[in-house]
Amino acid sequence: MTIRQTMKKPKHPHGSKKHDLIRSIRLVNFETGEVATIMPNLGATVLELVLKSGKNLHSILEGPGSLQEMIDNKHYHGAKLMPFPGRIPNGRYQFAGKNYALKPNTQDGAASIHGFVCKRPFRIVHTAVSNHRASVVLEYIHRGDTKGYPFKFSVRLTYTLASKSFSCTTVVRNLDKRAIPMGDGWHPYFKTSGKTNQLLLALPPSSIVELSAEKIPTGRIVRPARKTFIIPLRRKAIDTVFDLGEKRRRVTTKLIDPKNGVELRLWQEAGVRKYRYLVVYRPPSGTSVAIEPWTCAPNAANNKLGLIVLKPKGRFVASYGVSLKTIR
């Protein structure tokens, strides 16, 4: 195992110094060829993930097509969603008796979506390498200087590449003198090969959070499933928030590719104050499917569905990861 840092120039720089160089961190397993590529200056986004199943390597993340698209990342490929995932209508919310207004950042200007950490730079705190794994610890400190979110916190991400697996442990600490509201999520677009219409999705026991046309929870929970259920992705439009329940446990969602004999497994620590929610979205392109661990539902700052409140000096700790398995 090894860790590499690289610097690349974008083809069409924005003109400001912060975009002159794009730095990446690569966790590499030279024995297997497995790779994880992370962009620390772009919110510690996971850009690339290559894992091995049997004798074959699989590039399992769909990402932006160019460096400029990577900088913009309009669809949040591989991004961390902090301090809240999902939409907040008009960016307005109330916490501890006070009103706050975030800057709307959706195309129609109707909501704030997916926080702001995905655009912030992280620093390298620590690296570790052994014969069987490589890891890097990255940190971002928020000084309370974001419009609509004047709360101070730190977030440390530990990314680890091991044989046939990749994981992230997130630690958020409240650095403020008051309680702060928060949520977290990850937005990977998974693929195996070709179109997704030949894939199957095995979902864990859960309930569905009903959403309005604006992708905001209506307050209704529908169609609880007590057992794992499998749905084919052939011509299946899906953009759904699943509630995994309050019980703390490790939950696994499987993306199954029968044609190529590979099964992608996304696991998450679920339950109260963990990644209680699972979001599944199939983009119109049909080349990938987003399977996203979230701590809360959209608009949690207002509806409180999964909202985590950290007391002064309090912290949040939870993990998720990805692995591959051969099914032939």
Distance (Å, rounded) from C-alpha 85 to C-alpha 82? 6
* Beta carbons within 8 Å of 50's beta carbon, 6+ residues apart: 33, 34, 35, 36, 57, 58, 59, 60
Q: Is the pTM of this model over 0.75?
A: yes
The DSSP code sequence of 71-114 is HH-TT-TTEE-BS--SEEETTEEEETTEEEEPPP-STTSSEEES
The secondary structure element, H or E, covering residue 155 is strand 152-162
Supply φ then ψ for residue 67, to 5 degrees: -65, -35
State the pLDDT at residue 18: 47
State the pLDDT at residue 110: 96
Distance (Å, rounded) from C-alpha 257 to C-alpha 119? 33
The tens place of each residue's pLDDT in the chain, 328 residues long, gives 877 776 544 444 444 444 544 789 999 999 899 999 999 999 999 999 999 998 999 999 999 877 788 889 999 999 999 999 999 999 999 999 999 999 999 999 999 999 999 999 999 999 999 888 999 999 999 999 999 999 999 999 999 999 899 999 999 999 999 999 999 999 999 998 778 989 999 999 999 999 999 999 999 998 778 888 999 998 778 999 999 999 999 999 999 999 889 999 999 999 999 999 999 999 988 899 999 999 999 999 999 999 999 999 999 999 999 999 999 7
* Length of the chain, in residues: 328
Long-range pairs for 64-68: beta carbons < 8 A, 24 or more residues apart: 66/10, 66/11, 67/8, 67/9, 67/10, 67/11, 67/12, 67/22, 68/10, 68/11, 68/12
DSSP state of 184: -
State the pLDDT at residue 6: 66
State the pLDDT at residue 12: 45
Tell me the domains of the chain and their CATH numbers: 2-326 (2.70.98.10)
The DSSP code sequence of 167-183 is EEEEEEEE-SSS-EEE-
